Amino acid sequence: MALENPLFEELMKDFDSRLTHSGIDGERVASRLYELSHIGYTQIGGVKRPGFSDEEKKAKSLVKKWMVEAGLDVTEDGAGNIRGRLAGKNLEAKAIASGSHVDSVPNGGNFDGPLGVLSALEIAEAWKATNYVPEKPYEVIVFSDEEGSRFNSGLSGSRAMIGAIDDKEIEGLRDYNGDSLEQVLTHYGSSLQQFKEAKRDIEELELFVEVHIEQGKKLEKADQPVGIVSGIAGPAWLEVEFIGEAGHAGNTPMIGRRDPLVAAADFIQRIPEFPGEISETAVATVGKMEVLPNGINVIPEKVVLHVDIRDIYEETRDALLNRIIEEAEDIAKNRDIQLAIKQNTKIKPVPIEQELQAQLADSLKEFSIEPAYIPSGAGHDAMILGRHIPVAMLFVRSKDGISHNPKEWSSLNDCIYGIHVLKNFIEKKMGETITNSN
């Protein structure tokens, strides 16, 4: 028996039909979100579309069909990235691109990724409906495996596109079934060689603009449908080991104990104080902890903590990183605990150019939206491309800030406002040249 999926009715219920204009069709966007939601649909209303899965491939095939109907020339590379290209008047010009992804986390929501893809596609649909021919080429891009739920290593499609996945990393990738990337790609219909050949000359693009749900509450608090991303945070991950001395919980006196869990507790309590001292956009989180040997009547011998540190500015992110390391060293010294620290990840943040933010603000104001500036703590494909070309991002309001969850929700009104702003911004950019400052 088919599972009930009320997404279309819920989207249309409060939709203001006056937002359907200038070639942008709210009902079409709702219908397409609904069609995609059936692919990998779960019993509690979410979706499960891991990267390089049959479900992700089916979702991409559906988008490819829509791209062709919109008049785009469609290609797919060996990493599964889909590109729909519309030739502009100036065939020699660099292209302006927009897009996102259609894969999901396990039991994720219906807007994270698909909204960005459909927003980019709706621009082409609007131009077709109004007989508008852009000055420069335009590309709609669907990236593979953004979420990383397949290999615990995301942004695979965009990293393949710029050649940022090396052989050493490829050899170490194993999915949740224990399959290698090569095995997964073969099942998908590609090959490891084709994956490596997915690298393109990214300088063919003048600008990449991504629309994404906020995954936070700032727009909700500001009562605005759409906001401007001020930068994309680069994560730094620390693995911190406090090493003490195991002992019997009953026979070991309290005086003289070298308990690494007590040291770890001190460390965890201190971390929330540091980000605000260094930057208003910085965050730090202890998201994982292992206690060894983890016995109820055993003083631990070792505690391993994993700390996620992020900011949209590299200088302040690194200052926070160093402050947290210093705190771990002080606590270990004061409690006579050994300390080992390993840095597992350090990705460069991507600030959004001030000029692009100002131009996005102008587009927002044309729809009577007060500009709100929001740092993105999550990674996005725009972050990967932003190391090489200018990028910009728009956030669409998320109800209660919920994401990666079947309850993830953005109203159709907010989604369509986002598309109108995107269209306005891109059409303005079609008339000028962007200088790559990277």
Could you tell me if 137 and 256 lie in one domain? Answer: no
What percentage of the chain reaches a pLDDT higher than 90? 88
Could you tell me if 119 and 238 lie in one domain? Answer: no
The domain boundary, picked from 288, 313, 346, lies at 346
In a domain, 353, yes or no: yes
Could you tell me if 47 and 111 lie in one domain? Answer: yes
In a domain, 434, yes or no: no
The domain boundary, picked from 346, 371, 403, lies at 346
Band of pLDDT at residue 226, cut at 50, 70 and 90: very high
Q: What is the pLDDT of residue 431?
A: 87
In a domain, 438, yes or no: no
Please indicate if the annotation marks 318 as binding a ligand.
Answer: no
What percentage of the chain reaches a pLDDT higher than 70? 97
3-state secondary structure the chain: CCCCCCHHHHHHHCCCHHHCECCECHHHHHHHHHHHHCCCECCCCCECCCCCCHHHHHHHHHHHHHHHHCCCEEEECCCCCEEEEECCCCCCCCEEEEEEECCCCCCECCCCCHHHHHHHHHHHHHHHHHCCCCCCCEEEEEECCCCCCCCCCCCHHHHHHHCCCCHHHHHHCECCCCCEHHHHHHHHCCCHHHHHCCCCCHHHEEEEEEEEECCCCHHHHHCCCEEEEEEECEEEEEEEEEECCCEECCCCCCCCCCCHHHHHHHHHHHHHHHHHHHCCCCEEEEEEEEEECCCCCEECCEEEEEEEEEECCHHHHHHHHHHHHHHHHHHHHHCCCEEEEEEEEECCCEECCHHHHHHHHHHHHCCCCCCCEEEECCCCHHHHHCCCCCEEEEEECCHHHCCCCCCCCCCHHHHHHHHHHHHHHHHHHCCCCCCCCC
Average pLDDT score over residue span 143-154: 88
Could you tell me if 251 and 399 lie in one domain? Answer: no
Give the other-Cβ count within 10 Å of 305's Cβ.
Answer: 22
Q: What is the pLDDT of residue 434?
A: 43
Is 60 exceeded by the pLDDT of residue 437?
A: no
Is 90 exceeded by the pLDDT of residue 43?
A: no
Please indicate if the annotation marks 54 as binding a ligand.
Answer: no
pLDDT (tens digit per residue) in 351-393: 899 999 999 999 999 999 999 999 998 889 999 999 999 999 9
Could you tell me if 276 and 244 lie in one domain? Answer: yes
Band of pLDDT at residue 12, cut at 50, 70 and 90: very high
Average pLDDT score over residue span 388-400: 97
Question: How many structural domains comprise the chain?
Answer: 2
Average pLDDT score over residue span 415-425: 98
Could you tell me if 261 and 179 lie in one domain? Answer: no
Please indicate if the annotation marks 92 as binding a ligand.
Answer: no
| Number of Cα atoms under 13 Å in the Cβ half of residue 262 | 13
* Rounded Cα–Cα distance for residues 65 and 62 (Å): 5
* Rounded Cα–Cα distance for residues 180 and 188 (Å): 12
Structure tokens at 231: 């930068």
Q: What is the pTM of this model?
A: 0.86
Strand 338-346 versus strand 247-248 pairing type: unpaired
Whole domain around residue 214: which residue ranges? 7-232+349-429
pLDDT (tens digit per residue) in 156-210: 999 999 999 989 889 989 998 999 999 999 999 999 999 999 999 999 999 999 9
Tell whether the torsion through CA atoms of 404, 410, 416 and 417 is positive or negative: negative
Q: What is the pLDDT of residue 436?
A: 42
In a domain, 336, yes or no: yes
Contact by Cβ (8 Å): 236, 318: yes
Pick from 108, 199, 101, 203: nearest CA to 154: 101
Contact by Cβ (8 Å): 420, 367: yes
Average pLDDT, the chain: 94
Structure tokens at 22: 């200038």
Contact by Cβ (8 Å): 18, 56: no
In a domain, 435, yes or no: no
Could you tell me if 111 and 228 lie in one domain? Answer: yes
Q: What is the pLDDT of residue 348?
A: 87
Is 90 exceeded by the pLDDT of residue 432?
A: no
Is 90 exceeded by the pLDDT of residue 29?
A: yes
* Rounded Cα–Cα distance for residues 45 and 3 (Å): 9
* Rounded Cα–Cα distance for residues 12 and 383 (Å): 32
Could you tell me if 31 and 99 lie in one domain? Answer: yes
Could you tell me if 250 and 300 lie in one domain? Answer: yes
Please indicate if the annotation marks 212 as binding a ligand.
Answer: yes
CATH code: domain of residue 24: 3.40.630.10
In a domain, 1, yes or no: no
Could you tell me if 187 and 131 lie in one domain? Answer: yes
Could you tell me if 81 and 204 lie in one domain? Answer: yes
pLDDT (tens digit per residue) in 99-115: 999 999 999 999 999 99
Please indicate if the annotation marks 4 as binding a ligand.
Answer: no
The domain boundary, picked from 346, 374, 393, lies at 346
Is 60 exceeded by the pLDDT of residue 438?
A: no
Q: What is the pLDDT of residue 151?
A: 86
